[in-house]
Amino acid sequence: MQTRTLGKLGPTVSALGFGCMGLSFGYGPGLDRQQGIALIREAFEQGITFFDTAEAYGALNEEMLGEAVAPFRDHVVLATKFGFRNGDSQTGMDSRPERIHAVAESSLKRLRTDRIDVFYQHRVDPVVPMEDVAGTVKDLIAEGKVGHFGLSEAGVESIRRAHAVQPVAALQSEYSLWWREPEQAILPLCDELGIGFVPFSPLGKGFLTGKIDEHTSFAKDDFRNVVPRFSPEARKANQALVDLLGRIAGERQATPAQIALAWLLAQKPWIVPIPGTTKSHRLHENAAAAGMELSGDAVRQIDAALAHVRVQGERYPADLAARAGR
């Protein structure tokens, strides 16, 4: 697998990373510990060297990742996140310096490592000045406990304020063929400041695979149940996008997921998507997308074909939307 460097100062990683969230959090029943460890190791065998987790995904998520990569720790880049009160995404933000230090120590233990390669603020805390957050991570970097500073779903002003104190290596936000808002201001800012961009949900939380339709039912603890874009009505309306993506994929002897990932990789050389999965065959399918190269003409053809399709439904319910872009 090819490698990419996250921005000017970030680490060099595989062109595609692996998002660990769904292994144990967010999408209904996950994998048991040994299954999760096996899948992470299989990802490494596929050439993936960039793994993403968070305190908010639960202790098991970091523990599985730490145990899985222990035999080859120095050959992978581990990213985790701080920023929620008591590590619970339902309780609001908490990026006080003492809390950041506490999360770092706990994550280091769960990940079985002596350093966190990329330490993200999961969501901007409206109470704690960004300068204090960046300064705290700067101290952790000086101590050797953190390699690089990252932000997730931050807005332009917050990114600039953080970067002025401690250079931001990576910004992680949602970006895909059905959520292109980062193109307006965020991607130009990353280009200007030399910040790598890490798209989460690069397959539209599974919708762009073509395996979800208006009749699909989700587990009761799957967070897509509260996402407006995943209402049955929105899924029915958005099927036009997936159908068109499927035709484009068929013309290129690829799957819709592979085209969606290849399209992202073609946008900028410092973009590293982190699709997640609990299935081995999906892992292999996604990894193969890193070997696909879409020419500029191909990207323009895809953009032109999809331009007339308007995606229906908000990507977050109002309470979660309020946390993004601050």
Q: Where in the sequence numbering do the catalytic residues fall? A: 57
Give dist(CA 223, CA 35) in Å, integer.
22
Which amino acid makes up residue 15? A
The DSSP code for 206 is G
Which run of H or of E encompasses 34?
helix 33-45
Give dist(CA 166, CA 141) in Å, integer.
10
Task: For residue 161, count CB atoms less than 10 angstroms from its CB and return exposed for 0-12, middle for 13-18, buried for 19 or more.
Answer: middle
Dihedral pair phi/psi, residue 209, rounded to 5°: -75, -20
Give dist(CA 37, CA 45) in Å, integer.
13
Task: For residue 151, count CB atoms less than 10 angstroms from its CB and return exposed for 0-12, middle for 13-18, buried for 19 or more.
Answer: buried
How would you classify the pairing of strands 168-174 and 3-5? unpaired
Give dist(CA 326, CA 313) in Å, integer.
21
Give dist(CA 232, CA 239) in Å, integer.
11
| Rg, Å, the chain Cα set | 19
Q: How far apart are the first and last CA of the chain?
A: 35
Give dist(CA 57, CA 308) in Å, integer.
37
Cβ atoms 249, 285 nearer than 8 A: no
Nearest to 39 by CA among 247, 283, 305: 283
